[in-house]
A and B are shown apart, each in its own frame.
Chain A
Amino acid sequence: MKYKDYYETLGLPRTATQDDIKRTYRKLARKYHPDLSKLGDAEERFKEVGEAYKVLKDTEKRAAYDRIGDQWHNGQDFQPPPRWDEGFEFSGAGHDESEQAQFSDFFESLFGVDRDARMAQDRGGARGDTPYAIPGQDHHAKVVIDLEDAYRGVQRSITLDTPVLDAKGRVTVQSRTLNVSIPKGVREGQHVRLAGQGGAGLGQGRAGDLYLEIGFRDHAHFRVTGRDVSIDVPVAPWEAALGARIMVPTPDGTVEITVPQGSGGGRRLRLKGKGIPGTPPGDLYAHLNIVLPPADSDSARASYESMRQAFTFDPRAHFASDSS
């Protein structure tokens, strides 16, 4: 187990006041909140900051944590000393209505598995023997697919872990596998609703629904904006100058496109309706990128030389006219 330096996580000295801690947490939470930040590791950072705050905002937990001492460093191997929490009483108050948060081993070894999760489970317990019907909760999960899958639809087996209480009141994780058909035309960030696949209902209550949020795996060639897809297409100078018919990959197979005569670098060709399918379907944009062949042989050098002689071409002509 690794020691966690909660003060370092928040960038605060051990002498920080409760006000400092709150202020700093708020600031970092805004900075790293996954809904507000596009940083790649935002979610990870947000969780770390949240865990640090959960301990330091609570004066009981903070005092216990401080007692472990300040001789430890972030990431150092750590075992809590025996009876380290002797003389402390955790009131266990202050349940926020949090989703079941995942805390580090370090946190759980000191403060136990988050009680909120158990509370949430307990609320589901059956009460009394009068007829009742409580619908199950709707659940959410994420699934990542390839862009190609969005063009064709795809069948996926997904495994979901749900924490449940066993007969002795311990939290265990129950896995179940669902075979899901992801419909064609789905876009990143959209949701597929699976009726009746959420939490079980109580009594006569119907089961909740399961919402699957769709993510796309990054693609080596294609970029996606909403329904539209773009790709950079390298072309030779003579293809751009003289025009050409070239083969270009799309997520739905290779297509032939016409490079118009006299195309400049960066020219954007639109393939209408070749984006993600739908009503209306998206478009596919091919961005031409002119690539020079290397002058690495006598004949190649001779070709460039003859171009030099064939053209009266000054690519920097506009600099002269700018300065006059």
Chain B
Amino acid sequence: MNESHSIWLEGPIVEEEVEFTFFELCRATGASEEQLALWIDEGALEPQGAGPQAWRFDGASLCRVRIAQRLTRDLEINAAGIALALDLLDEIDRLRARLRRVQER
């Protein structure tokens, strides 16, 4: 293989540089529009903008929706449960990071 002729693919870091529309987020995660709308209704995701056409989701939504899908599929959790689980997971992450900082002080 000739290294000098390789093409190196580049792309943005989603969490820092990417914003999704409603449909882009469906495509990126494989979630159905109905499913995503349900989660938004429950406040599991909080897009900027008024109404589906104007909605913009930050890059971190990718991860959130993927977790929501896995929990829905594997544990059959409904939309309200998903919103609660995602909030609790965020809280656990925050507490873990804080615990680490305290332990290292």
Contacts and interface: CB of A to CB of B under 8 A. Distances in A.
B67 to A, nearest CB: 5
B40 interface: no
A162 interface: no
A197 B74 CA distance: 28
Contact of A30 (B12, B14, B75): B75
A26 B62 CA distance: 26
A194 interface: yes
A191 B15 CA distance: 7
Contact of B89 (A36, A98, A195): A36
A319 to B, nearest CB: 23
Interface residues of B, number: 33
Interface of B is mostly: helix
Contacts of A268: 104-105
A225 B100 contact: yes
Interface in A43-60: 46, 50
Contacts of B16: 185, 190, 278
B71 interface: yes
Contact of A285 (B67, B70, B73, B104): B104
Contacts of A137: 27, 30
Contacts of A187: 15
Interface residues of A, number: 47
B90 to A, nearest CB: 12
Contact of A191 (B9, B14, B27): B14
B1 to A, nearest CB: 9
A138 B75 contact: no
A193 interface: yes
A180 interface: yes
Interface in A3-41: 26, 29-30, 33-36
A138 B30 contact: yes
Interface string A169-195: 000000000111101011101111111
B104 to A, nearest CB: 6
A250 interface: no
Contact of A209 (B28, B85, B97, B101): B28
A259 B104 CA distance: 17
A98 B73 contact: yes
Contacts of A189: 63
Contacts of A155: 8
Contact of B7 (A179, A185, A192): A179
B13 interface: yes
B8 A96 contact: no
Contacts of A208: 27
B8 A180 contact: yes
Contacts of B14: 190-193, 211
A28 B64 CA distance: 22
A152 interface: no
B13 A186 contact: yes
Given A183-B10, A266-B105, 15 more contacts: A36-B71, A140-B66, A180-B10, A180-B11, A181-B8, A183-B13, A185-B16, A194-B10, A195-B11, A211-B14, A212-B11, A223-B100, A225-B100, A225-B101, A268-B104
7 contacts: A36-B85, A181-B9, A190-B13, A192-B14, A211-B62, A225-B101, A268-B104
